[in-house]
Amino acid sequence: MEKRVVFRSTWLPYALVAPQIAVTIVFFFWPAVQAGWYSFQLQDAFGERTQFVGLANFAALLGDANYLHSFRITAVFSVLVAGTGIAISLLLAAMADRVIRGALAYRTLLIWPYAVAPAVAGVLWLFLFAPSVGIITFALRSIGVHWDWVLQGDQAMLLVVIAAAWKQISYNFLFFLAGLQSIPRPLIEAAAIDGAGPGRRFWTIVFPLLSPTAFFLLVVNIVYAFFDTFGVIDATTQGGPAGATQILVYKVYYDGVKGADLGGSSAQSVILMAIVIALTVVQFRYVERKVQY
């Protein structure tokens, strides 16, 4: 789409885009190019000499059991976060769509976790699940569950999944609610007249009409679990115990900052960029389809 009426100036448009383009070049393109460049290099322990090693960093990564493990962890983590987040928020949105009294109050009380920083969300749940002082730890112990995520990888994973999904429920809820409210009422009424009960109506009419929203949220939630949950992980488990919660983004940070392995970390960055690009393409494909729909 283009404007029919435009202004004319030889310098003004360049001046207007200049700030945005300058920031983009200095802080996006330049570092991205450097990440690509470093990923072909090997640095010695003191950072003084570098050596061009071609694809050796990538080959080392793909042969590294830890890295492949981190891939598996990330897959499990993002499926769990997206799955629980979407299921719970769909249930809540379907209920909120039904009630009339108090609807605004319910919505207000459900959306505030969106404002909580991932790291703070991590700390809130860390406190509840703390091995020695946590209130949920105490409750679990009193029913005979031995809870100590510091030692048990599965429990650490559960902790970060709960914290990450908790924060994301409000976002999913708002989109599901908007989706539900845009479904034409006559469709539902016609089904009701034909004798379909609420459950039948939900699965045969509402849910299919909601599936574009659900698919969109699936992609957004996976992106969230991949990248935005860094704060949750760093504030709680820091990838531990023994790498049980070390998702890819955390490993980039850990190897690059703590491990000072510039080449390896950059190679991981390049792989992650490829994943983001793939996810963005999927997301935009979907957006285009929705427009035609």
Partner 1 sequence: MVEQRPWLTAFAHAVLIAGILVIMFPLYVTFVASTRSLEDILSVPMPLLPGDRLWENYAQVLAAGTTKGVTAPVGRMMLNSLVMALAIAFGKIAISIAASFAIVYFRFPLRNFFFWMIFVTLMLPVEVRIIPTFKVVSDLGMINSYVGLTLPLIASATATFLFRQFFLTVPDELAEAARIDGAGPMRFFRDVVLPLSKTSIAALFVIQFIYGWNQYLWPLLITTDESMYTAVIGIKRMIVAGDALTEWNLVMATAMLALLPPAAVVLLMQRWFVKGLVETEK
Q: Where in 201-260 is the site for partner 1 (CB under 8 A)?
A: 216, 220, 227-228, 230-231, 234-235, 249, 252-253, 256-257
Contacting range for partner 1; rule: CB under 8 A; set: 63-71, 73-81, 152-160, 268-276:
268-276
Query: What is the pairing mode between strands 50-52 and 41-43?
Result: antiparallel
Q: Exactly one of 38, 40, 67, 77 binds partner 1 (CB under 8 A); which one?
A: 38
Q: Determine if residue 243 is left, alpha or beta; phi over 0 gives left, psi from -120 to 50 gives alpha, anything else beta.
A: left
Q: What are 26's two structure tokens?
A: 């200095």
Residue 95 beta carbon to partner 1: minimum distance, rounded to whole angstroms:
4
Q: Which is nearer to partner 1, 176 or 244 (CB)?
A: 176
The verdict on 28 binding partner 1 (CB under 8 A) reads yes
The verdict on 146 binding partner 1 (CB under 8 A) reads no
Whole-number Å distance between alpha carbons of 218 and 128? 28
Q: Which is nearer to partner 1, 240 or 243 (CB)?
A: 240
DSSP string, 202-223: IIIIIHHHHHHHHHHHHHHHHH
The verdict on 140 binding partner 1 (CB under 8 A) reads no
Q: Which is nearer to partner 1, 25 or 62 (CB)?
A: 25
Whole-number Å distance between alpha carbons of 74 and 271? 14
Q: Which residue has the tokens 């080449």?
A: 263
Q: Exactly one of 59, 184, 280, 289 binds partner 1 (CB under 8 A); which one?
A: 280
85 contacts 221 by C-beta, under 8 angstroms: yes
The verdict on 4 binding partner 1 (CB under 8 A) reads yes
175 contacts 110 by C-beta, under 8 angstroms: no
DSSP string, 215-280: HHHHHHHHHIIIIITHHHHHHTTTT-STTTT--HHHHHHIIIIIS--HHHHHHHHHHHHHHHHHHH
The verdict on 262 binding partner 1 (CB under 8 A) reads yes
Q: Which is nearer to partner 1, 43 or 80 (CB)?
A: 43
The verdict on 277 binding partner 1 (CB under 8 A) reads yes
Q: Exactly one of 123, 205, 209, 214 binds partner 1 (CB under 8 A); which one?
A: 123
The verdict on 54 binding partner 1 (CB under 8 A) reads no
Q: Exactly one of 59, 62, 87, 117 binds partner 1 (CB under 8 A); which one?
A: 117
97 contacts 180 by C-beta, under 8 angstroms: yes
Contacting range for partner 1; rule: CB under 8 A; set: 48-56, 62-70, 79-87, 115-123:
115-123
CA distances in angstroms from 88 to 67, 79, 123, listed in the order given? 31, 14, 22
Residues 80-109 that bind partner 1 (CB under 8 A): 88, 91-92, 95-96, 98-100, 102, 106, 108-109
Residue 195 beta carbon to partner 1: minimum distance, rounded to whole angstroms:
11
The verdict on 49 binding partner 1 (CB under 8 A) reads no
